Amino acid sequence: MTDQPETQPETRDRYPHFLSIPTRWKDNDIYGHVNNVEYYSFFDTVICTYLIREGGLDIQRAPVIGVAVESKCTFKRSLAFPDTVEAGLRIGKLGTSSARYEISLFRAGEDEIAAHGYFVHVFVTRGEQKPVPIPAGIRAALERIAVG
């Protein structure tokens, strides 16, 4: 699961799931725009919210959890407080024990992307951190947003 070159421009219609995330005053840096580290937080938020709401992940007690093993973000244009971020989510690759989430961030109501990237989870046992197959409920949720 490595970075692959884009073959099509990122557009909203390429994402089957969206989550609106309000920016916060603290997200802005001294330059007056959302600091780059916050973009990864938006990625993590859309993924985890989807896993909890759609996949039934119990973040406190689930015996199997997803751990991040790789991520990338390409910045296209700035976001700033008080923008609302609309995070588009899809699954680009679904393996036995791993998933590659692909995310694009848009300013609310706009079609031009602010950033896009990916995030790879490997699903592991909570205690030993050994890779295991993706739990059935989570797999079903991920399949619903998988792209060809």
> Mean pLDDT across the stretch 57-77?
96
Cα–Cα distance measured from residue 15 to residue 118, given in angstroms and rounded to the nearest whole number? 13
Query: Are 55 and 62 in contact, with CB atoms under 8 Å apart?
Result: no
Evaluate if residue 1 carries a pLDDT over 70. no
Q: What is the pLDDT of residue 148?
A: 75
Q: What is the pLDDT of residue 7?
A: 59
Q: What are the sequence ranges of the domains in the chain?
A: 12-144
Cα–Cα distance measured from residue 120 to residue 11, given in angstroms and rounded to the nearest whole number? 21
- pTM summary value: 0.92
Evaluate if residue 56 carries a pLDDT over 60. yes
Evaluate if residue 94 carries a pLDDT over 70. yes
> Mean pLDDT across the stretch 116-134?
97
Q: What's the mean per-residue pLDDT of the chain? A: 94
Q: What is the pLDDT of residue 17?
A: 98
At the topology level of CATH, where does 12-144 sit?
Thiol Ester Dehydrase; Chain A (3.10.129)
